[in-house]
């Protein structure tokens, strides 16, 4: 078990101090003066499903006492409508709405895979999952296969990267092969396919995903994407953001099914850096700080929610080979590191670029929210006003935002509005209504993520009360 100092994700307040000498450039107090107002769209958050209560593995509670640490919800790509939900504490659930059954499909706490979620402050655990597009296609190589991302104790395996720099734990991707893809309780085999050392407790592996828009004719088909943070602490102390040597601070893209005896996955030949010496060829895009969540739109465009440190939260359009700028850029601004290590560590107007960075298409600053939590393009039919809009959330304040997807462009951040959410009769703020004590900074914390179903409808997932709530039209 590892415990230690708390490093917050997004609203870590550094003690500011200034180096004497010449006067430093002025930090931006309010980098984005434009306020985010409530828009006209009103939705009702309807109780849909409550997960069973679970307990943290620590003997002594390290953070808040969440009812269930549910993180993501996505449909199995088999047309059944069955929904999968991961709980950071180690359980993967399947919910069948038609049959109204909730099953603990896989409990990786008991699977003998080195699972360890004991690191403060609960950014570890069963972080993500993805089902192979051929999961239900009997006879195909991907039949019965799904993937989990989780934290494991460092001594439970040898990492592909940074095995000797894993003081906190290691992030693992593991493949599971179910004997029967229609079963509601997993039975089958598994193998580890990827492992990377983590020197700190935070900013670890986040989302796993297949490009759900890819057909067998597309190069993305059957390739597994995963997001990895900068490794943690604060200020990216190992400068992983701008390094291509290890697949930290990046979105990686690997082929989990085609590999030979010496490897456990292979590198797609069209990955952007395969021909560069000294570069981890798994990397698809980099320069990200904590891209905990990303998703694919129906046209195959990837949207990446990158959690900021000092002042700015980002939504980026995923581009193969892109460098999103951390730790020298945050949002469309420069960090202190981006202008010569001045202090205080804040954001500054950016200098003329001598390097090519890809900037966010949407951003908000910390007088609006603290940590961007999830991003989806709404493709459901239930809320016509939201059709085709990009919807994203702040996990701390519980605010849900939306913006036009049409015309979104890197470095031309578009306008953002806040979704009006009703619980019962009243319009509420999710943190106030169903939040939990904020052990980082006082007040209440929503611990909010968004989930999605096969029809493209969106859901609110809140850890404090363990509920999944469906967003429906007023």
Contacting residues toward Ca ion, per CB under 5 A: 30, 32, 154, 159, 163, 198, 200, 203-204, 231-232, 324-325, 365, 367
Burial of 217 (0-12, 13-18, 19+ CB in 10 A): exposed
Burial of 302 (0-12, 13-18, 19+ CB in 10 A): buried
Q: How far is the CB of 218 from Ca ion (least distance, A)?
A: 27
Q: How far is the CB of 22 from Ca ion (least distance, A)?
A: 28
Q: Is the dihedral of CA 457, 460, 461, 465 positive or negative?
A: negative
**Beta strand pairing call for 333-335 and 126-131:** unpaired
Give whichever of 204 and 207 is closer to Ca ion, judged by the CB atom.
204
Q: How far is the CB of 59 from Ca ion (least distance, A)?
A: 22
Q: How far is the CB of 405 from Ca ion (least distance, A)?
A: 19
Return the SS3 of 386.
helix
Q: Where are the beta strands (DSSP E) in 160-296?
A: 169-178, 188-198, 205-210, 224-228, 250-254, 283-286, 293-296
* Residues whose CB falls within 8 Å of the CB of residue 121, separated by 6 or more in sequence, listed in order: 6, 8, 62, 63, 201, 202, 439, 440
Give whichever of 92 and 322 is closer to Ca ion, judged by the CB atom.
322
Give whichever of 11 and 324 is closer to Ca ion, judged by the CB atom.
324
Return the SS3 of 434.
helix
Give whichever of 124 and 462 is closer to Ca ion, judged by the CB atom.
124
Point out which residues pair with 394 in neighbouring strands: 372
Which residue in the block uniquely carries the two structure tokens 């509420």?
A: 428
Within 10 angstroms of residue 102's Cβ, the number of other Cβ atoms is: 18
Give whichever of 47 and 155 is closer to Ca ion, judged by the CB atom.
155
Which residue's beta carbon is nearest to the bound Ca ion? Answer: 232
Give whichever of 116 and 297 is closer to Ca ion, judged by the CB atom.
116
Return the SS3 of 22.
coil
Give whichever of 177 and 320 is closer to Ca ion, judged by the CB atom.
320
Give whichever of 170 and 453 is closer to Ca ion, judged by the CB atom.
170
Q: Where are the beta strands (DSSP E) in 229-301?
A: 250-254, 283-286, 293-296
Give whichever of 192 and 367 is closer to Ca ion, judged by the CB atom.
367
Q: How far is the CB of 251 from Ca ion (least distance, A)?
A: 13
Q: How far is the CB of 252 from Ca ion (least distance, A)?
A: 15
Q: How far is the CB of 323 from Ca ion (least distance, A)?
A: 9
Q: How far is the CB of 120 from Ca ion (least distance, A)?
A: 12
DSSP-H helix ranges across 247-344: none
Q: How far is the CB of 474 from Ca ion (least distance, A)?
A: 29
Structure tokens at 91: 């359980």
Point out which residues pair with 400 in neighbouring strands: 393
C-alpha to C-alpha distance for 290 and 464, rounded to whole angstroms: 22
């Amino acid at each position: 078990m590892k415990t230690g100092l708390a490093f917050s994700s997004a609203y870590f307040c550094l003690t500011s101090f200034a180096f004497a000498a010449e006067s430093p450039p002025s930090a931006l107090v309010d980098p984005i003066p434009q306020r985010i107002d409530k828009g006209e769209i009103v939705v009702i958050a309807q109780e849909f499903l409550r997960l069973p209560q679970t307990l943290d593995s620590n003997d002594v509670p390290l953070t808040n006492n969440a009812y269930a640490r549910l993180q993501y919800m996505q449909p199995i790509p088999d047309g059944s409508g069955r929904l999968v939900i991961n709980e950071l504490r180690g359980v993967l659930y399947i919910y069948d709405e038609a049959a109204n059954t909730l099953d603990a499909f896989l409990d990786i706490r008991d699977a003998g895979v080195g699972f360890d979620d004991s690191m403060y402050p609960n950014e570890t655990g069963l972080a993500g999952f993805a089902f192979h597009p051929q999961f239900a296609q009997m006879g195909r190589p991907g039949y019965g296969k799904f993937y989990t991302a989780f934290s494991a104790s460092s001594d439970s395996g040898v990492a592909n990267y940074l095995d000797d720099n894993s003081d906190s734990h290691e992030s693992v991707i593991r493949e599971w092969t179910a004997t029967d893809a229609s079963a509601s309780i997993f039975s089958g085999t598994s193998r580890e396919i990827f492992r990377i050392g983590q020197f700190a407790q935070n900013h670890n592996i986040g989302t796993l995903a297949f490009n759900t828009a890819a057909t067998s004719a597309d190069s993305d088909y059957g390739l597994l994407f995963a997001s990895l943070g900068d490794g943690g602490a604060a200020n990216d102390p190992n400068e992983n953001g701008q390094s291509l040597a290890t697949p930290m601070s990046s979105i990686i893209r690997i082929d989990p099914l085609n590999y030979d005896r010496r490897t456990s996955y292979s590198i797609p030949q069209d990955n952007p850096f395969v021909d560069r010496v000294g570069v981890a060829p798994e990397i698809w895009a980099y320069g990200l700080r904590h891209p905990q969540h990303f998703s694919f739109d129906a046209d195959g465009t990837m949207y990446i929610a990158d959690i900021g440190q000092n002042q700015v939260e980002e939504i980026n359009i995923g581009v193969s080979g892109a460098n999103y700028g951390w730790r020298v850029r945050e949002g469309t601004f420069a960090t202190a590191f981006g202008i010569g290590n001045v202090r205080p560590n804040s954001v500054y107007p950016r200098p003329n670029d001598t390097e090519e960075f890809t900037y966010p298409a949407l951003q908000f600053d910390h007088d609006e929210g603290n940590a961007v939590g999830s991003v989806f393009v709404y493709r459901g039919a239930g809320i016509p006003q939201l059709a085709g809009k990009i919807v994203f959330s702040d996990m701390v304040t519980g605010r849900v935002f939306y913006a036009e997807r049409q015309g979104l462009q890197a470095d031309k951040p578009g306008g953002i509005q806040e979704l009006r959410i009703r619980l019962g009769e009243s319009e509420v703020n999710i943190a106030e209504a169903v939040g939990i004590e904020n052990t980082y900074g006082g007040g209440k914390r929503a611990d909010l993520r968004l989930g999605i179903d096969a029809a493209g409808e969106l859901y609110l997932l809140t850890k404090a009360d363990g509920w999944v709530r469906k967003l429906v039209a007023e």
